[in-house]
């Protein structure tokens, strides 16, 4: 009897094996690009289904909204008991129309089908902590189960941000805001991608946010180089920051950042930085003495950064900025810097290249007093005309504001001034901004931030409505924007109304 039972059992095993051999062999996988996300950041999950068998099969299409397979399971602080969902029903929501018929894809032997979705656009994740996602697919007699993936969501405090632009190019409407945030895992360098959806209405949407890498506890001054072409064409994707006396730059295709000693934590990185079409990153550095200006290059090829040139300026620089011209005009670069001597303010222009250049004779404004942290701006028009501007005060009390505009052609400059209003609160920081798009005439705007708010305009002052601190300023084809920094949500562009 025992032998009969054993034989029957063995026969059943063989039969099961034969049946299993006839089933499709499918492998289901979930893929995350990284394990740490900040609260509110998009969590993108890739789904892969591989046919590991010897015959082609039809499997449910991996798309958002078409099929009830796979079934996903999410568990974490926001869903302590766990919750299951599929992409079809999640997309339909509470709408009453019937679901669409299932769609399939023919997967060849050894072939792969891929899909993906944004997890927190379907299942809100508002609580920090560790999460776990798994998936299972059951279809026409076969099944596949993905191993669980884990990720963590961390609340962060955003502390600094600046803009990265593709000036005078088709991609100018794609704006990058690079930032530094504090998290439980330390300081993080990241980037938010914004897009000007309707320039005529000043509408901007947030496309994505990503963490680039961890940085040191002293990291500050984050930057993304400006370019004068579509950035997607470049072989490098540089981001940089400062850690004490170290200038750091990192490209996405490299494992570790490159470092350059700028001599002092008080040395200034001149904004914006610049990258050429070959992928070389150029950073101007103003020394602690405010008189030594160096061009530091991080070459696209591997190697240590180096000083291209260094010059000593006659007077200490109060504020400084770089301007970049259109690529089809040779991509010229010009620095404008402002100095103060007694009651006189001087605006200087200097062409930038692989060799140091003499500055043009300065444009002098009398009875002018520089404001704290007043950032000038400079741009180069299609005909080569250079436009530079700076906000200043007309009296020592720094309450009566004006803008000086320098227009230079072939080395000959002419400066004009315009009164723009008064402020009863002390100015914390001031900006001017030039148009960075191919469309529209040259247009200079100004902005002053005080402890009581911000005001700016084309001419006379208008209040800028924002409850968040302004950290940068931008002029597009039809609207001006302030870059504000929400400590909990990150950077956002807010239209100014002029």
Tokens of 64: 């958002």
- pLDDT level of residue 63 (50, 70, 90 thresholds): confident
By the 8 A CB rule, do 354 and 408 touch?
Answer: no
Residue with tokens 């005080």: 450
**C-alpha neighbours within 13 Å on the C-beta side of residue 173:** 16
Phi, psi of 387 (to 5 degrees): -115, 125
The Cα 466–Cα 449 span in angstroms is 11
Phi, psi of 3 (to 5 degrees): -65, -35
pTM for the model stands at: 0.83
Tokens of 259: 């470092």
By the 8 A CB rule, do 446 and 459 touch?
Answer: no
Determine how many CB atoms are found less than 10 A away from the CB of residue 140.
12
Each residue's pLDDT tens digit, 273-322? 999 999 999 999 999 999 999 999 999 998 999 999 999 999 999 999 99
- pLDDT level of residue 102 (50, 70, 90 thresholds): confident
The Cα 413–Cα 404 span in angstroms is 12
- pLDDT level of residue 474 (50, 70, 90 thresholds): very high
- pLDDT level of residue 439 (50, 70, 90 thresholds): confident
Nearest to 93 by CA among 64, 70, 69, 116: 64
- pLDDT level of residue 12 (50, 70, 90 thresholds): very low
Each residue's pLDDT tens digit, 310-354? 999 999 999 999 999 999 888 999 999 999 999 999 999 999 999
Query: Quick one: what percent of the chain has pLDDT higher than 90?
Result: 77
Where are the chain's structural domains? Answer: 24-153, 156-495
What CATH number does the domain located at 24-153 have?
A: 2.60.40.2970
Provide the pLDDT for residue 185. Answer: 84
Tokens of 282: 């150029």
Which residues make Cβ contacts (< 8 Å) with residue 439, sequence separation at least 6? 199, 477, 478
Provide the pLDDT for residue 41. Answer: 85
Residue with tokens 């005078």: 168
Phi, psi of 4 (to 5 degrees): -65, -45
Residue with tokens 């020592």: 396
Average confidence (pLDDT) over 474-479: 94
Determine how many CB atoms are found less than 10 A away from the CB of residue 122.
18
Tokens of 440: 């529209």
Average confidence (pLDDT) over 370-391: 95
By the 8 A CB rule, do 47 and 135 touch?
Answer: yes
Average confidence (pLDDT) over 468-485: 94
Nearest to 403 by CA among 362, 476, 456: 456
Tokens of 169: 């190019």
Cis preceding-peptide flag for 272 (omega within 30 of 0): yes
What are the beta bridge partners of residue 495?
A: 481
> 479-484: long-range contacts at Cβ-Cβ below 8 A with a sequence spacing of 24 or more?
479/199, 479/201, 479/202, 480/433, 480/445, 480/447, 480/456, 481/202, 481/204, 482/447, 482/454, 483/161, 483/162, 483/163, 483/177
Tokens of 462: 């208008």
Strands 142-154 and 36-38, by their bridges, are parallel
What are the beta bridge partners of residue 294?
A: 285, 310
Q: How far is CA 299 from CA 202, 258, 282, 302, 307, in A?
A: 37, 10, 8, 7, 11
What is the second-level CATH architecture of the domain 156-495?
A: 6 Propeller (2.120)
Tokens of 49: 């289904």
Average pLDDT over the chain, rounded to whole? Answer: 91
Tokens of 364: 């002098």
The Cα 342–Cα 345 span in angstroms is 8
Nearest to 42 by CA among 189, 192, 196: 192
Provide the pLDDT for residue 92. Answer: 65
Provide the pLDDT for residue 19. Answer: 41
By the 8 A CB rule, do 134 and 30 touch?
Answer: yes
Phi, psi of 362 (to 5 degrees): -70, 155
Q: How many residues does the chain have?
A: 498
Each residue's pLDDT tens digit, 123-177? 999 899 999 999 999 999 899 999 999 999 999 999 999 999 999 999 999 999 9
* Residue 97, Cβ density class (10 Å: 0-12 exposed, 13-18 middle, ≥19 buried): exposed
The widest CA-to-CA distance across the chain, in whole angstroms, is 115
DSSP 51: E
Chain centroid, CA 431 distance in Å:
21
By the 8 A CB rule, do 104 and 58 touch?
Answer: yes
Average confidence (pLDDT) over 203-221: 93
Tokens of 151: 């990720």
Average confidence (pLDDT) over 114-125: 91
Q: Is the pLDDT of residue 6 over 50?
A: no
- pLDDT level of residue 250 (50, 70, 90 thresholds): very high
Nearest to 380 by CA among 346, 407, 414: 407
DSSP 302-324: SS--EEEEEEE-SS--SEEEEEE
Nearest to 64 by CA among 86, 41, 84, 80: 86
């Amino acid at each position: 009897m025992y032998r009969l039972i054993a034989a029957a059992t063995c026969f059943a095993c063989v039969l099961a094996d034969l049946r299993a051999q006839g089933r499709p062999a499918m492998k289901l996988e979930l893929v995350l690009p990284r394990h740490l996300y900040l609260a509110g950041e998009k969590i993108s999950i890739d789904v892969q289904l591989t046919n590991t068998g010897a015959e082609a099969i039809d499997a449910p299409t991996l798309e958002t909204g078409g099929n009830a397979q796979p079934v996903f399971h999410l568990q974490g602080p926001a869903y302590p008991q766990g919750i299951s969902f599929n992409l079809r029903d999640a997309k339909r929501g509470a709408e009453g129309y019937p679901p669409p018929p299932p769609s399939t894809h023919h997967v060849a032997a050894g072939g792969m089908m891929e899909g993906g979705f944004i997890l927190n656009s379907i299942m809100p994740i508002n609580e920090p902590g560790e999460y776990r996602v798994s998936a299972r697919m059951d279809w026409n007699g076969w099944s596949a189960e993905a191993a669980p993936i884990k990720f963590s969501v961390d609340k962060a405090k955003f502390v600094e941000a600046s803009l990265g632009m593709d000036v005078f190019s088709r991609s100018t409407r794609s704006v990058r805001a690079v930032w530094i945030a504090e998290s439980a895992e330390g300081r993080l360098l990241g980037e938010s991608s914004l897009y000007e959806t309707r320039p005529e209405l000043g509408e901007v949407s947030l496309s994505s946010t990503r963490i680039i890498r961890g940085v040191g506890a002293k990291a500050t001054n984050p930057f993304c180089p400006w370019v004068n072409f579509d950035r997607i064409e470049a072989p490098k994707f540089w981001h940089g920051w400062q850690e004490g006396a170290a200038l750091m730059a990192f490209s996405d295709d490299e494992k570790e950042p490159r470092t350059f000693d700028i001599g002092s934590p008080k040395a200034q990185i001149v904004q914006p930085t610049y990258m050429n079409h070959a992928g070389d990153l150029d950073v101007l550095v103003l020394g602690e003495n405010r008189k030594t200006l160096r061009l530091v290059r991080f070459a696209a090829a591997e190697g240590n950064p180096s000083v291209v040139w260094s010059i000593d300026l006659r007077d200490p620089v109060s504020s400084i900025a770089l301007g970049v011209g259109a690529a089809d005009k040779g991509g010229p670069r010009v620095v404008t810097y402002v100095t103060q001597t007694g009651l006189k303010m001087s605006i200087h222009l200097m062409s930038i290249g692989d060799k140091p250049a003499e500055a043009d004779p300065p444009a002098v404004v009398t009875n002018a007093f520089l404001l704290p942290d007043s950032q000038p701006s400079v741009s180069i028009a299609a005909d080569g005309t250079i436009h530079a501007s700076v906000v200043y005060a007309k009296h020592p009390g720094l309450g009566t504001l004006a803008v000086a505009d320098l227009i230079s052609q072939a080395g000959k400059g002419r400066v004009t001034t315009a009164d723009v209003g008064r402020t009863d609160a002390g100015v914390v920081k001031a900006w001017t901004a030039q148009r960075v798009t191919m469309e529209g005439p040259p247009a200079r705007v100004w902005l002053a931030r005080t402890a009581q708010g911000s005001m700016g305009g084309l001419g006379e002052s208008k209040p800028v409505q924002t409850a968040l601190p302004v950290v940068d300023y931008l002029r597009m084809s039809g609207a001006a924007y302030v870059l504000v920094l929400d400590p909990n949500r990150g950077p956002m562009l807010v239209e100014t109304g002029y």
